Amino acid sequence: MIFARLVARRLGGVVILLAVLSVLTYGLLSLAPGGPEQALLGEHASTPETRAAIRELYHLDESFPLRYWRWLSAALSGDFGNSVSFRQPVLSVIGERLPVTTTLAGFSMLLTIAVGIPAGLAAGMRRGSTLDRGLTLGTLVSLAFPPFGIALILLYTFGVWLQWLPLYGSDQVSNYVLPAIALAFGQAAVLFRQTRAAALNVGGQDYLTFARARGLSRRRIWGSYSLRNAAMPVLTVAGVLAATSLTGAVFVEQAFSLPGLGSLLVQAVNEKDLPLVQALVLLGGAVVIIVNLLVDLAYLVIDPRVRHGVSA
């Protein structure tokens, strides 16, 4: 009942958010100079009749509300139209690129969690130690480098100089190692800092002082008392990073020539492929909303206080 109530509360907000996002995207792209007919014609010479036929085919001569309503009515039935640049259904184009982005996001999140959370807990448990200072300094350095810069360094070091890993491609697991590291480099630092802050906050609570006074071991104190209470803010940041991995890997995909959704979005925007851009933006918004919803549901499982607050 509590889960159903929370989901019901969120569904209304989801519909409103996606509607606003679609209107803004459609409107901004319509106001941009040029049009889809330029992407179709390219450098070829055209006659006024040809351009008029293209505009009629894609309903470009209609008013913005009418064009948007026509697109929305079709999208609600699962038809997002045909891509202007690829001459294929939008969902088919996205379906071909989606596995690349999801694979990259999955590998990067595994690295982010495997590095960020243990390192953050270790630093929080040993505040002021050499380990804590070294890890904190390392995260500051990693946050100073953008993912694109890290990608170039990894490409030259492990692809050109050492030749340990391939430079590009998406057909083997080894093709995702360097891109995943580049994407997780800064994300692990963010998760580390949040985990360390949560561990420091929990470490000063009275119940941990009493647990230490009882003579409990550090492993039992952190395993039985601290982790669950420190998990809430860490889970929030992890959810944001997971959504970012799926929707924000544009620079990494460009650097490693990965045919994912990020590079597809750049191409669609450059060519004013309105149906494709609209579908990609809505997909990104849906991913963020779904991840936030899953995080909220995880709150209910982890912390009973949240369940009581929702039920109240």
CA torsion angle 81 103 198 297 (round to 10): 50
More confident site: 255 or 42: 255
Each residue's pLDDT tens digit, 276-298: 888 888 888 888 888 887 887 77
CA distance 255 to 103: 16
**In this predicted structure, what is the pLDDT of residue 75?**
81
More confident site: 100 or 293: 100
Domain that holds residue 199: 92-311
User: Are 62 and 118 members of one domain?
Assistant: no
Provide the percentage of residues in the chain whose pLDDT is more than 70: 77
Domain assignment present for residue 87? The answer is: no
Each residue's pLDDT tens digit, 215-257: 777 666 666 666 767 777 788 888 888 887 876 677 788 888 8
**In this predicted structure, what is the pLDDT of residue 111?**
92
Provide the percentage of residues in the chain whose pLDDT is more than 90: 5
**Least-confidence region, from 36-50, 55-69, 180-194:** 36-50
CA distance 252 to 150: 9
CA distance 35 to 42: 11
**In the 3-class helix/strand/coil scheme, how is the chain assigned residue by residue?**
CHHHHHHHHHHHHHHHHHHHHHHHHHHHHHHCCCCHHHHHHCCCCCCHHHHHHHHHHCCCCCCHHHHHHHHHHHHHCCCCCECCCCCCEHHHHHHHHHHHHHHHHHHHHHHHHHHHHHHHHHHHHCCCCHHHHHHHHHHHHHHHCCHHHHHHHHHHHHHHHCCCCCCCCCCCHHHHHHHHHHHHHHHHHHHHHHHHHHHHHHHCCHHHHHHHHCCCCHHHHHHHHHHHHHHHHHHHHHHHHHHHHHHCCHHHHHHCCCCCHHHHHHHHHHCCCHHHHHHHHHHHHHHHHHHHHHHHHHHHHHCHHHHHHHHC
What is the domain count for the chain?
A: 2
If pLDDT is split at 50, 70 and 90, which confidence band does 70 have?
A: confident
pLDDT at 25 over 60: yes
User: Are 67 and 96 members of one domain?
Assistant: no
User: Are 36 and 139 members of one domain?
Assistant: no
**In this predicted structure, what is the pLDDT of residue 71?**
79
Domain assignment present for residue 117? The answer is: yes
**In this predicted structure, what is the pLDDT of residue 2?**
58
User: Are 248 and 169 members of one domain?
Assistant: yes
Q: Which of 53-67, 69-83, 118-132, 182-196 has the highest mean pLDDT?
A: 182-196
User: Are 215 and 134 members of one domain?
Assistant: yes
User: Are 171 and 289 members of one domain?
Assistant: yes
Q: Which of 25-39, 84-98, 149-163, 167-181 has the highest mean pLDDT?
A: 84-98
**Least-confidence region, from 30-34, 137-141, 264-268, 298-302:** 30-34
**In this predicted structure, what is the pLDDT of residue 177?**
86
Q: Give the type of residue at 49.
A: E
Each residue's pLDDT tens digit, 2-21: 556 666 777 777 778 888 88
Say how many C-beta atoms besides its own lie within 10 A of residue 139's C-beta: 22
User: Are 168 and 106 members of one domain?
Assistant: yes
Each residue's pLDDT tens digit, 108-140: 999 999 998 888 888 887 788 888 888 888 888
User: Are 107 and 45 members of one domain?
Assistant: no
CATH code of the domain in which 234 resides: 1.10.3720.10
Q: 66: burial class by Cβ within 10 Å (0-12, 13-18, 19+)? A: exposed
Alpha-carbon Rg for the chain, nearest whole angstrom, is: 24
The domain boundary, picked from 47, 76, 105, lies at: 76
pLDDT at 164 over 60: yes
**In this predicted structure, what is the pLDDT of residue 6?**
65
Q: Give the type of residue at 132.
A: D
Q: 303: burial class by Cβ within 10 Å (0-12, 13-18, 19+)? A: middle
**In this predicted structure, what is the pLDDT of residue 112?**
92
Domain assignment present for residue 84? The answer is: no
Distance from CA of residue 191 to its chain's centroid? 14
Mean pLDDT across 97-118: 90
Mean pLDDT across 261-284: 83
User: Are 145 and 277 members of one domain?
Assistant: yes
Q: Which single residue is written with the structure tokens 């055209």?
A: 46
User: Are 143 and 283 members of one domain?
Assistant: yes
